[in-house]
Structure 1
Amino acid sequence: MPLSRFGRTLLNWLLVGPLIAGLLTAPTTPADTWTVEAPAGGPVATVHLDAQGSPSVAVSRGGATVLNPSPLGVTTEQADLTTGLSLTGRSSRAVVEKYSTTAGKRLHRLSVMKETRFRFTRGDSELDLVVRAARDGVAYRYELPGAGAVLGEASAFAVPAGSTAWLARHRADYENPFIQYADVPPAEYQMPTLFGVGQNYLLLAESALNGAYTGPRLVRDQDTYRIALWDARVPYDHGLATPWRVMVTGDLATVTESTLVDDLAPGSRVADTSWIKPGKVLWSWLADGRSAQQSLKRQKEFVDYASQHRWPYVLVDAGWYDDPDTGERAWTDRTPEFTWMPELVEYGKARGVGIMAWLRFSDFDTHDKRVQRFGLLRQWGVQGVKLDFIDSEAQERLQWYDETLRDLADNHLMVNFHGSSVPKGINRTWPHVMTMEGVHGAEKSSNLTTSHLAALPYTRNQIGSMDYTPMAFQRAGRPTSDAHELALSVVFESGLANLAGSLEAYRARPEAERFLDQVPTVWDETRLLSGRPADHTVMARRSGDRWFIGAGVSGAARTLQVPVGFLPGRWLVEVTRDGAGGLVREAHVVRGSTLAVEVGAEGGFAAIACRWRPGLTTCAR
Structure 2
Amino acid sequence: NPGEMNGLGSSTPGLALPGATPWRTITVGSGLKPIVETTVPFDVVEPLYEPSQEYKFGRSTWSWIMWQDPSINYDDQIRFIDLASEMGYEYTLIDGGWEKNIGRDRMEELFKYAHQKNVDVFVWYNSNGYWNDAPQDAKQCMSNSVARKKEMKWLQKCGVKGLKVDFFGSDKQQMMGLYEDILTDANEYGLMIIFHGCTIPRGWERMYPNYVGSEAVLASENLIFNQHFDDMEAYNACLHPFIRNTIGCMEFGGTLLNKRHNRTNDGGTIRKTTDVFQLATAVLYQNPIQNFALAPNNLTDAPALAIDFMKQVPTTWDETVFLDGYPGKYCVLARRHGDRWYVVGVNAQKEPLKLSLNLPMWEKGETVSYYLDDKKRQPQLEELKIKNPAEVKVVIQPEGGIILTK
Query: Normalised by the size of structure 1, how large is the TM-score?
Result: 0.57
In the alignment, is the contact (CA less than 8 A) between 1:425 and 1:464 conserved in 2? yes
1:237: how far off?
2.3
Q: What is the Cα deviation at residue 589 of structure 1?
A: 1.5
Residue 36 of structure 2 is aligned to residue 242 of structure 1? no
Alignment pair present for 1:270 and 2:67: no
What is the match of residue 176 of structure 1?
none
- Higher normalized strand content (fraction of residues): 1
1:358 maps onto 2:135 in alignment: no
Pairing of 1:57-136 with structure 2 (within 5 A): none
8 Å CA contact retained: 1:273, 1:431: no
Aligned to 2:265: none
Please give the alpha-carbon distance, in whole angstroms, between the structure 2 residues aligned to 1:586 and 1:567: 17
Judging changes above 3 Å, is the alpha-carbon distance between structure 1 residues 458 and 545 closer, same or farther for their aligned structure 2 residues?
same
Counterpart-to-counterpart distance in 1, 2:321 and 2:197? 29
Which residue is 2:205 aligned to?
A: 427
2:96–2:125 Cα contact (<8 Å) kept: yes
- Which structure has more helix as a fraction of its residues? 2
Give the C-alpha shift of residue 323 in structure 1. 5.2
Write the distance in 1 (CA, Å) between the matches of 2:4 and 2:288: 23
Deviation by residue 1:406-434 (Cα, 9 ceiling, x = unmatched): 11101111111000011110110102111
Distance in 2 (CA, whole Å) between partners of 1:512 and 1:282 is 15
Alpha-carbon deviation of 1:273? 4.3
Structure 2 residue matching 1:342: 3-state secondary structure? helix
Counterpart of 1:562 (choices 357, 367, 372) is 357
The match for 1:308 among 86, 104, 110 is 86
Among 30, 33, 37, the alignment partner of 1:257 is: 37
Query: What SS does the corresponding residue of 2:66 show, helix, strand or coil?
Result: helix
| Paired residues of 1:286 and 1:472 also in contact (CA < 8 A) | no
- Which residue number in structure 2 is paired with residue 461 of structure 1? 245
**Offset, 1:477:** 2.8
Q: 1:412 aligns with which of 185, 190, 197?
A: 190
The whole-number CA distance in structure 1 between the counterparts of 2:122 and 2:61 is 10
Counterpart selection for 2:288 from 461, 473, 495: 495
Greater RCO, 1 or 2 (C-alpha within 8 Å, sep 6+)? 2
Are 2:243 and 1:451 aligned? no
| Contact in 1 for aligned 2:83/2:295 (Cα 8 Å) | no
Distance 1:528 1:235 in 2: 39
Return the letter of the residue paired with 1:468. Answer: F
Work out the CA distance in 2 between the residues paired with 1:246 and 1:278.
27
Aligned to 1:379: 157
Match runs of 1:391-406 below 5 Å: 391-406=169-184
Structure 2 CA distance for aligned equivalents of residues 534 and 280 of structure 1: 27
Q: Helix, strand or coil for the counterpart of 1:404?
A: helix
Per-residue CA shift, 1:260-303, capped at 9, x if unaligned?
001112224124441x1110111111221112112x22211211
Could you tell me which of 340, 343, 350 is aligned with 1:549? 343
Per the TM alignment, residue 348 of structure 1 is displaced from its structure 2 partner at its CA by: 1.2
The one-letter code of the counterpart of 1:583 is P
- Per the TM alignment, residue 569 of structure 1 is displaced from its structure 2 partner at its CA by 4.8
Q: Is 2:143 the partner of 1:348? A: no
Structure 1: gaps spanning 5 or more residues: 1-151, 153-170, 174-229, 325-334, 610-621
Matches within 5 A, 1:47-66: none
How has the CA–CA distance of structure 1 residues 465 and 323 changed in structure 2, closer, same or farther, with 3 Å as cutoff? Answer: same
2:279 to 483, 486, 489: 486
1:577 alignment partner, one of 372, 379, 391: 372
Match of 2:398 among 601, 613, 616: 601
Task: Give the alignment partner of residue 384 of structure 2, picking from 566, 581, 588.
Answer: 588
Please say if residues 385 and 416 of structure 1, whose CA atoms lie closer than 8 Å, have aligned partners that are also in contact.
yes
Displacement, 1:234? 1.9
What is the rounded CA distance, in whole Å, between the counterparts of 1:273 and 1:531 in structure 2? 39
Deviations 1:480-516 (A, max 9, x none): 2221111000111011111012221343221111111
Change (3 A) 1:421 1:506: farther
Report the counterpart of residue 163 of structure 1 in structure 2: none
Query: Would the aligned equivalents of 1:519 and 1:548 in 2 still touch at CA under 8 Å?
Result: no
Q: Secondary structure at the match of 1:266?
A: coil
2:276 and 2:400 in contact (8 A); partners too: yes
- Counterpart of 2:194 in 1: which secondary structure? strand
Q: Do the aligned partners of 1:311 and 1:353 also contact (CA within 8 Å) in 2?
A: yes
Residues 386-419 of structure 1 deviation map (CA, whole Å, 9 limit, x = unaligned): 0000111111111111211111101111111000
**Whole-Å Cα distance in 2 between the matches of residues 560 and 355 of structure 1?**
42
Equivalent-residue separation in structure 2 for 1:479 and 1:494 (angstroms): 24
Classify 1:271/1:433 alpha carbon distance in 2 versus 1 (closer, same or farther; 3 Å).
Answer: closer
Aligned partners of 2:47 and 2:209 also within 8 Å: no
Greater CA radius of gyration, 1 or 2?
1
Does the 8 A contact of 2:370 with 2:382 survive in 1? yes
Aligned pairs for 1:509-528 (under 5 A) are 509-528=303-322
Distance 1:350 1:431 in 2: 27
Aligned to 2:99: 321
Letter in 1 for 2:121: I
Q: State the superposition RMSD in angstroms.
A: 2.1
